[in-house]
Amino acid sequence: MWESLGSLSGTPWVYVVVSLSIVLDVFVPILPSGVLVITAATTAAGYGPAADVAATVQTGNHLAEMAFLVLCAAAASVLGDLVAYRLAWRGGDRFDRAIGRSRRLSAAQQRLGTALTRGGGGIVVLARFAPAGRSVVSLGAGVAHRTAREFLPWSALAGLVWAAYSVSLGYFGGHWLGTSWVSTALAVLALFVAGSVAAYLVRRPERETAAH
């Protein structure tokens, strides 16, 4: 992965590869889109602390790259969500039966509908970090025929927060530790921890309801 992204670093292709992975991730949650975002940011930011004017200029260039990577990742996230949402909307019966066969997915879909109706779309943001949470939210919103006005603004916020967090992990890891597997591993671990916390928070209402 290092060699592949390293050869693409500084070219438009790195953004294409990362964006495509993020779009497809909503349908195939096992794709390492988060790892690709972190690796791309780490590879681009793998330099030592600024020590002179040239390094300072380079720092500004890297920050511009990071900002563009965040925008690309966020846009790809929203695009993938929108495609999944529209497909589930049109094929609602088929997706509804698939979701109905899983008690966890059914409960998640019900919580999503309640949260969106009450304007509490924060669950969409949390689910973006949870494993497969993005798929459940996007498909569930389509199956439940939630309006685009209810769903898309929260999807955009979720994509932006997730992209900014992932790119920041890669950037600071590469800046402080250099381009190495150690910095990437620590950044991926931080992303995994955030996902675990998000998954716990998303499931907490279900646990509280079961307890009562």
Mean pLDDT for back-to-back runs of 10 residues, the chain (212 residues): 50 83 86 84 62 45 84 95 90 67 65 58 83 82 83 93 92 74 80 84 56 46
Question: In whole angstroms, what is the distance from residue 116 CA to residue 172 CA?
Answer: 34
**pTM for this predicted structure:** 0.78
Contacts of 137 (CB under 8 A, 6+ apart): 81, 108, 112, 123, 124, 127, 128, 155
pLDDT, residue 96, reads: 65
3-state DSSP assignment of residue 66 = helix
pLDDT, residue 149, reads: 87
**Other C-beta atoms lying within 10 Å of the C-beta of residue 204:** 10
pLDDT, residue 38, reads: 87
- Give alpha helix (H) positions in 26-102: 33-44, 53-90, 92-100
Chain-centroid distance, C-alpha 142: 19
Contact status, residue 14 vs residue 5, Cβ threshold 8 Å: yes
**What token pair was written down for 111?**
């919580």
